[in-house]
Structure 1
Amino acid sequence: MRVKLKDIFDLQMGKTPSRSNLEYWNTTDYKWISIADLTKTSKYIFETKEYLSKSAIKDSGIKVIPANTVVMSFKLSIGKTAITKEDMYSNEAIMAFKDKHVINIIPEYIFYLFKYKNWEEGSNKAVMGKTLNKATLSEIEVEICSIEKQRQIVNILDKIMSAVDGRKQELQLLDELIKARFVEMFGNPVTNEKGWKQRQLGEITTKIGSGATPKGGKEAYQEEGITLIRSMNVHNGLFEYKELAHISEEQAEKLDNVTIEENDVLLNITGASVARSCVVPSKILPARVNQHVCIIRCNQCIVPEFLNKLLIDDNYQRLLWSIAEAGATREAITKQQVESLQIIMPPIELQEQFADFVHQVDKSKFDTMTFAPIYDIINLYLHTHFYQGRR
């Protein structure tokens, strides 16, 4: 049967107690969920980066999220979903779906229903943008089948997701292999215990610079056209194609000073994703970047793949974060700070040897670890059982 979410759940938003009161945050008392926590977790959420004190809970009036409750992000990054394994709290970008127990529902069924649902389908994107609200969510209808059928669906999807998790582990191991090879060949790029020559990044690049958001913001984005790279697309050693934006040629002309070229290194310079870096994939060209992403174009002295792996080395990431967190109002790295970064300069032949190793590992990753077919199967299965027909 189809039911509205408000008929089967109490929808509960979280809160963020005052950041100025350090007593609220200097604690490990009560777990407090953010979107970042949901991004890192799998089906169940066990840990959170931040905690609230007892006084924070009392003074703010924030409500507890009981164990075995489905939580989902509904602002900015919509659809990040998990199930609480114990009583927790959350910020205001996360909705908790507290079961009213009017019909039999298992949390895992709701987890899969929410996680793979297209929350923008059939909506007015111009109005909704990247934010849902409690009223909108409350009126959404979902398909609830018998408890036996729910268990059957969850069992099948658990098996599929187990295969996905196994592949993710293999990918992580391959990434660790690249990191280990970098350290073996070049050492710590911050302390430079191997004594390589060093130069400022501005001296070994032909371009360093960020772009801008076209006039009109997201309302100016198109389904096709010139690619506009945003910080959400740049991950460490990986370009994320999800939610890739496009702009018109007329808008792109206004950003000609930040035209992307093949083998450019991208570095996020503001916000929560600051310091993430990857090499631009050639298949998205032509492209531009917005103000949150910095283009780094190497000259003949340095190999782009080597520079990228240096920037995402754990030691160098800590350095970049220390620079970013020293910003006055938010995490940010300025153009001048990027230009002044000290970069080790091993012989170009050694850099190329390392880049060849990275390409071989990446070939293994993408030849054998593609998730697309599995996600297609999941979405087809969910569409069949959750989003079509009546039972």
Structure 2
Amino acid sequence: MVKKEKNIQTRATIYKPLPKGWKWVRLGDEKVVQIIMGQSPPSFSYNAEGIGLPFYQGKAEFGKHHPTTVKWCSQPGKIAEADDILMSVRAPVGDVNISKEKSCIGRGLAAIRINKDSLNNKFLYYFFKRDVSMWSKLSTGSTFDSITSKTLLNFAIPIPPLSTQHKIVEILEEADNLRKLRQQADEKMKDLIPSLFVQMFGDPATNPKGWEMKKMGEVTNIRRGASPRPMGDPRYFGGAIPWIRISDIHRNGKFLNDTEDHVTEEGAKRSVYLKAGSLIMAMAASIGTPCFLAVDGCIHDGFVVFEKLSPKLDKEFLYYFIIAFKDRFVSLAPEGTQKNLNTALIKAVTLPLPPLTLQQEFAKLVDDIEAEKARQAESRKKLDELFQSLMQRAFTGELVA
């Protein structure tokens, strides 16, 4: 029997008074929940051939809702059953998945098995998902965070009648499924621009439509940025001229409107100063990410700029060609601690030169796609906000009393 502590009162201060019919229950109440702390089986029993039970060691195997099996164990110690909640009890602590089948759990996990007559496992799953960070505050360990069995056993949760739990789970699952459908649509949108390019112009690698093919270095001047050294020197940094870094293009999107850092006039002399309207591309960190400058500014040596384009090449078409074949640019970068392109590799990339009218038509169609992606991103944001709002209200009686 678990000794009573003040945990219920401590948890109760976080919530409004519970509605009628709700109650606080500790995870140590064996009439409702059983806790199984994981244990490492003998290392010789691990295998990748599917012999024995699926073996989960910690959060590394977690998916969105269920773990992915990469190892099995022929001599399992601690067992999780199908529908048990698996919780990461070693850093990073607190994240949860639901076991799909009988499995072996290592010491990085705990299995939480519910009494189905008292508790809906998905109700408990969503309760834990609601605030994973709370476990870091309750964890122990000087070297890394961990959750002890005592902490779990004494942790209290607000539980409504079982029928109410089912209703709450139905609402949360419906909202979560809407997010999933939105995510699936977003994934399809990612492939739309490359697909449209191939549909209109064919694969540049084989050029089935027989367009004129040119190396990028033949149709545009490609110049690398430069960084004043030493970095942070007040002679060069802290002025009024925008200093464009990789983080800026992530924040701004297609058109770069502002920067976090600035350089002085002396710093600009040691960099590459560009006018608004210039097309640049990252060649380090976020390789193959292009953007147009909406402000005058300096680019550091992680960028190239495309200047003096051939009359046969539309700048918007070039921008979307880079977007469509970003993976191609990434694949060109030599392997290393941090992959980087160089101007020679970029200059050697070939691209088709269809008539300008077709290039401009392609750019217009992609503009429409990008506008739709922006609308979808706003929809995704609203769905995420709705789900989080429902999660916050679900366990206080505000969603379903």
TM-score where L is the length of structure 1? 0.57
Shift of residue 360 of structure 1? Answer: 0.6
Does residue 159 of structure 1 match 2:174?
A: yes
- Contact kept? 2:186, 2:373, Cα under 8 Å: yes
Q: 1:204 to 1:97 in 2, by over 3 A?
A: farther
Tell me how far apart the structure 1 counterparts of residues 125 and 97 of structure 2 sit (CA, whole Å).
6
2:384 is paired with a residue of what secondary structure? helix
Question: Are the structure 2 counterparts of residues 198 and 102 from structure 1 closer, same or farther at C-alpha, using a change threshold of 3 Å?
Answer: same
Whether 1:68 aligns to 2:83 is: yes
Work out whether residues 204 and 352 of structure 2, in 8 Å CA contact, stay in contact via their aligned partners in 1: no
Q: How does 1:232-243 map to 2 (within 5 A)?
A: none
**1:192-248 deviations in whole A, cap 9, x for unaligned?**
44454232579653446899xx99xxxxxxxxxx997569x969xx89xxxxxx977
1:10-51 deviation per Cα after TM superposition (whole angstroms, max 9, x unaligned): 565999x99xxxx966x566577997875xx54345x56xx3
Equivalent positions of 1:94-243 (< 5 A) are: 96-99=109-112, 101=114, 104-117=118-131, 119=133, 133-135=145-147, 143-146=157-160, 147-193=162-208, 194=210, 196-200=212-216, 204-207=221-224
Letter in 1 for 2:360: E
The separation in 1 between residues aligned to 2:308 and 2:90, in whole angstroms, is: 43
Matched residue, 2:372 = 364
Q: Secondary structure at the match of 2:196?
A: helix
Q: Which amino acid aligns with 1:133?
A: D
SS at match of 1:370: helix
**Alignment CA distance shift 1:228-1:197 (3 Å):** closer
Amino acid in structure 1 at the alignment position of 2:387: I
Aligned residue number for residue 52 of structure 1? 71
2:353 corresponds to which letter in structure 1? P
Give the drift of 1:383. Answer: 1.6
Note if contact 1:210-1:295 (Cα within 8 Å) is conserved in structure 2.
no
Whole-angstrom CA distance in 2 between matches of 1:6 and 1:228 = 52
Which ranges in structure 2 are unaligned for 5 or more consecutive residues? 1-7, 12-24, 233-242, 310-314
Paired position in structure 2 for 1:220? none
Does structure 1 conserve the Cα–Cα contact (< 8 Å) formed by 2:272 and 2:298? yes
Give yes or no for contact 1:186–1:346 (8 Å, CA) kept in 2: no
Contact 2:225 2:299 (8 Å CA) reproduced: no
Instruction: Name the amino acid aligned to 1:360.
Output: D
Work out whether residues 284 and 341 of structure 2, in 8 Å CA contact, stay in contact via their aligned partners in 1. yes
2:149 & 2:300 partners in 1: Cα distance?
Answer: 31
Instruction: Give the C-alpha shift of residue 361 in structure 1.
Output: 1.8
Query: Is structure 2 residue 325 aligned with structure 1 residue 311?
Result: yes
Root mean square deviation of aligned Cα = 6.0
**CA deviation after TM superposition for structure 1 residue 190, in Å:** 3.8
Q: Deviations over 1:261-281 (max 9, x none)?
A: 8786665856xxx76x55559
Match of residue 344 from structure 1: 351
The unaligned stretches of length 5 or more in structure 1 are: 216-225, 240-245
Taking the TM superposition and a 5 Å limit, the aligned residue runs for 1:266-305 are 278-279=289-290, 294-299=302-307, 301=309, 302-303=315-316, 305=319
Give the total of aligned pairs: 332
Partners of 2:346 and 2:177 lie apart in 1 by 44
Higher Cα Rg: structure 1 or 2?
Answer: 2
* Conserved 8 A contact 1:62-1:89: yes
Deviation at 1:187, TM superposition (A): 2.4
Kept after mapping to 2: 8 A contact 1:262/1:280? no
Contact 1:70 1:111 in 2 (8 A): yes
Please tell me whether residue 380 in structure 1 is matched to residue 394 in structure 2. Answer: no
* AA partner of residue 332 (structure 1): K
- Between stretches 112-121 and 369-378, larger displacement belongs to 112-121
Deviation at 1:150, TM superposition (A): 2.6
Counterpart check, 1:354 vs 2:362: yes
Distance 2:105 2:350 in 1: 40
8 A contact 2:86–2:112 mirrored in 1: no
Q: CA deviation at 1:370?
A: 1.1
Per-residue CA shift, 1:262-321, capped at 9, x if unaligned? 786665856xxx76x5555989x9999999xx54543353435313333346xx3xx845
Q: CA deviation at 1:98?
A: 0.8
- Cα distance, 1:99–1:254 mapped onto 2, change above 3 Å: farther
How far apart, CA to CA, are the structure 1 residues paired with 2:298 and 2:91?
Answer: 22
Q: Return the letter of the residue paired with 1:205.
A: I
